[in-house]
Amino acid sequence: MKERVIIEPRRDGPRFFTRVSQIPTELEAPTGTVNDALGRPLHDLRISVTDRCNFRCVYCMPKEIFGRDFEFLPKQMLLTFDEITRVARVAAAHGVEKLRLTGGEPLLRVGIEELIAQLRELRTPDGRPLDLALTTNGSALAKKAQALKDAGLNRVTVSLDSLDDATFRAINDIDFPVQRVLHGIEVADAVGLGPVKINMVVKKGANDHDIVPMARHFKDTGHILRFIEFMDVGTTNGWKMGEVVPSAEVIRRINAEMPLEEVAPNYTGEVSARWRYADGGGEVGVISSVTQAFCGTCSRVRLSTEGKLFTCLFATNGHDLRALMRGGCTDDELSTVLAHLWRARGDRYSEQRSEEMATRSTRPKGSGPKRIEMSYIGG
Ligand code: SAM
Ligand code: SF4
Ligand code: SF4
């Protein structure tokens, strides 16, 4: 007999646990929208397609942890493209309109274009195609941009932490030259994957001297530069509050040289606060994950490379959808489980972090509760 399993979220003290139980006997048809315990609708699905990366960014996959001996997931543990598409289809029936492929480095997943082509076929309940984006370190973008566009990708976000070649090489820690990423951005724009968003994680003392030069460089290009506060994701990056440059400070520094005006958000729940140059030179954004938590409107769910569903970037455990699918569940069962998981969601980690900041401002490398790494679940 087919084994029927469901993973239920359960809170036990400060940690999340994963439990296996029966799929609810009462199956429910998706209604096109589902709200969590705090009234937040499910809207975005972030899909990690690989846990591997060719970079070793010091704040994400530090070499001393992700060295030669580090064991990445074997191929059979990864969700197949059909499994990913199945989860995305079910999520779309519950209101997901945006899909973002991430990683690790998503362009390392062999055949990523085929997955994009499959996801391109999905529709919202009222028949619209989903918004399909990808976040990349840009190292293979020049080579792959046209194929990604042809497969149906709408947009790319490129992570770039410095324009200064020496700083960039030190951050990616594999001596990768900045010029190749800049070229990738131009190719992506030229093939129609724009406007290209550029994400810069700002870490005090590492690259904050580059805030204004980055703004100057991308002003008047049509690309949208976004500054991200360094976050305490995972347990390996040795996060300290003192290394966070608050977004207000980023805006202050740019504004002093190139005056900015605040712009209204595109939609409720947009994580990036938008600013535009007063002289019409385009837009910049700031993502204040630490100093101004946006849990109140967080509508994102994350699917890990091996099929675990995480309802928060800071969750300690995921819900094993791969086990369900490989155990032979039907789409109705998968859909019912997803609805249950989302309805039970009460995550608001960043807001809680703000509340607790007074008592905890640093976390040594490798310490604290086991939490997922950014390179495992994607940003
Ligand atoms: N490899 C791809 C890339 O770098 O764009 C996709 C995955 S990467 C984990 C996604 C994003 O997470 C990147 O923009 C990266 O800079 C960001 N990121 C990683 N660790 C972070 C941290 N501790 N705080 C803030 N952002 C982080
Ligand atoms: Fe790789 Fe992206 Fe993490 Fe850098 S931020 S190590 S490119 S996954
Ligand atoms: Fe969303 Fe969790 Fe981040 Fe809050 S901490 S914004 S709930 S992912």
**What are the extents of the domains in the chain?**
3-377
User: Quick one: pLDDT at residue 232?
Assistant: 82
Q: Whose CA is nearest to atom 5 of ligand 1?
A: 136
User: Quick one: pLDDT at residue 6?
Assistant: 47
* Atom number, ligand 2, closest to the C-alpha of residue 103: 8
Q: Whose CA is nearest to atom 1 of ligand 1?
A: 105
Q: Is the pLDDT assigned to residue 363 strictly greater than 80?
A: no
Residues 81-115 pLDDT 10s? 999 999 999 999 999 999 999 999 999 999 999 99
Residues lining ligand 1, CB < 6 A?
Answer: 53, 59-60, 102-103, 105, 135-137, 159, 199, 201, 228, 230-231, 233, 237, 374-375, 378-379
Which of 55, 56, 60, 171 for a ligand 1 pocket mutation test, highest count of atoms within 8 Å of Cβ? Answer: 60
For residue 345, CA distances in Å to 5, 6, 146, 348 come to 19, 16, 38, 9
Cβ neighbours of residue 127 closer than 8 Å, sequence gap 6 or more: none
Q: Ligand 3 in contact with 72 (CB < 6 A)?
A: no
Query: Do residues 156 and 196 make contact, with C-beta atoms less than 8 angstroms apart?
Result: yes
Q: Is the pLDDT assigned to residue 361 strictly greater than 60?
A: no
Residues lining ligand 2, CB < 6 A?
Answer: 53, 55-57, 60-61, 103-105, 137, 159, 375
pTM beyond 0.95 = no
Q: Ligand 3 in contact with 341 (CB < 6 A)?
A: no
Ligand nearest to the CA of 49: 1
Q: 361: CA distance to ligand 3 center in Å?
A: 19
Between these two residues, 132 and 375, which has the higher pLDDT value? 132
Q: How many Cβ atoms from other residues are within 10 Å of residue 212's Cβ?
A: 15
- Spell out the alpha helix ranges (H) of the chain: 81-93, 112-120, 141-151, 165-172, 178-190, 211-218, 247-257, 321-326, 331-343, 349-356, 374-377
Residues 119-138 pLDDT 10s? 999 999 999 999 999 999 99
User: Quick one: pLDDT at residue 370?
Assistant: 58
Residues 296-345 pLDDT 10s? 999 999 999 999 999 999 888 888 999 999 999 999 999 999 999 999 99
Q: What's the whole-number average pLDDT of the chain?
A: 89
Q: Is the pLDDT assigned to residue 368 strictly greater than 70?
A: no
Fold for 3-377, please state it: TIM Barrel (3.20.20)
Q: 341: CA distance to ligand 1 center in Å?
A: 26
Q: Tell which phi-psi region holds residue 306, choosing left (phi > 0), alpha (psi between -120 and 50) or beta.
A: alpha
Torsions phi, psi of 275, nearest 5?
A: -135, 150
Q: Whose CA is nearest to atom 12 of ligand 1?
A: 379
For residue 110, CA distances in Å to 78, 99, 113, 115, 116 come to 12, 19, 8, 10, 12
Identify the three-state secondary structure at position 334. Answer: helix
User: Quick one: pLDDT at residue 292?
Assistant: 87
Residues 271-282 pLDDT 10s? 889 999 999 999
Between these two residues, 315 and 368, which has the higher pLDDT value? 315
Q: Is the pLDDT assigned to residue 142 strictly greater than 70?
A: yes
* Atom number, ligand 3, closest to the C-alpha of residue 294: 6
User: Quick one: pLDDT at residue 270?
Assistant: 78
Residues 245-291 pLDDT 10s? 999 999 999 999 999 999 988 877 778 899 999 999 999 999 998 99
* Atom number, ligand 1, closest to the C-alpha of residue 158: 5
Identify the three-state secondary structure at position 231. Answer: coil
3-state secondary structure 58-103: CCCCCCCCCCCCCCCCCHHHCCCHHHHHHHHHHHHHCCCCEEEEEC
